[in-house]
Amino acid sequence: MKKLIALFAVSAVATTSAVAGVAISGAASVSYDDNGSGASATSYDADLSFVGTAGATTVTIGMDVDAAASITGVAMSTKIGPVTVAADMFNEASIGTSSGGNLREGTAAEDTGVTISLDAPIGDATVGVDNSGNVTISGSWSGVTLSHTSKSGGDTTTASAAIAGMDVSVTNKAGDTTWSLGTTVSGVALTLASSQKVTATFGLAGNTMTVTATPKRASAASVASSATVRGTRVVNAQAAFSSVAISRDLTSGATLAATYSTLDDSLTLKASVAF
């Protein structure tokens, strides 16, 4: 009996030690959209994130659990002296948005890979290289954060800084330049992007109101992926529209939001929580 008790105690300590290095977070929401003149719809979303840490090594696993449990991302990073090794081990077929509004569909080779970066003794610069041979140099000098990536599909350079109370960000990707400006005037946070999208966020009677003006979007044909070009999906033309969103943090820990859009004259109610 004493041996069983001792074995159980050791097992309990080992289990507690393992769990202590794992952090769990997540978010969930339910939305009701009257869809203007169309049929109303209710949608759900729930996600979980697991972060395991052992010394300087971190493993992050993301899951989508609102319909059926499915993995959305698996990544690991570790340090070997001044060298940082990061591995993206899951092909999530991620979708991003380019400056022209094209939806980008990543291939397995683009969504997975290993990046090795070295804290080079060149001021505050960091030099990194990934398994595709892309080289990135980044750092901050005199309050300006710069990053340059040299790759076969076209170099990418980004710069950001706070100048005279404005947050300025500029990105040049293969000759295509985009920018954004952000500032706060009389308690109103304003953001202007090169796409002509304007956003204003401010407090109103204990609520947060966000007003957004989105410019029209031109149609674009799909582009096939290749070794040097990341493919794009078909983009449908869209008229310019505006939206007004009002959100409030409730004492229950949830957030309630109402959004009106002129695109389809719709009102969406959303309750969400993050933990």
Mean pLDDT in residue range 175-180: 92
* pTM exceeding 0.85: no
Span 23-62, pLDDT tens digits: 999 999 999 999 998 999 999 999 999 999 999 999 999 9
Mean pLDDT in residue range 160-167: 93
pLDDT band with cut points at 50, 70 and 90 for residue 109: low
φ and ψ at residue 267, rounded to 5 degrees:
-125, 125
pLDDT at 10 over 90: no
Question: Can you say whether residue 153 is alpha, beta or left, with left for phi > 0 and alpha for psi between -120 and 50 degrees?
Answer: alpha
pLDDT of residue 92: 64
H/E stretch holding 108: helix 108-111
pLDDT at 99 over 50: no
Hey, is 222 helix, strand or coil? coil
Span 200-246, pLDDT tens digits: 999 988 999 999 999 998 888 877 766 556 666 778 889 999 999 99
Angle at 108 between CA 104 and CA 109, to 5 degrees: 95
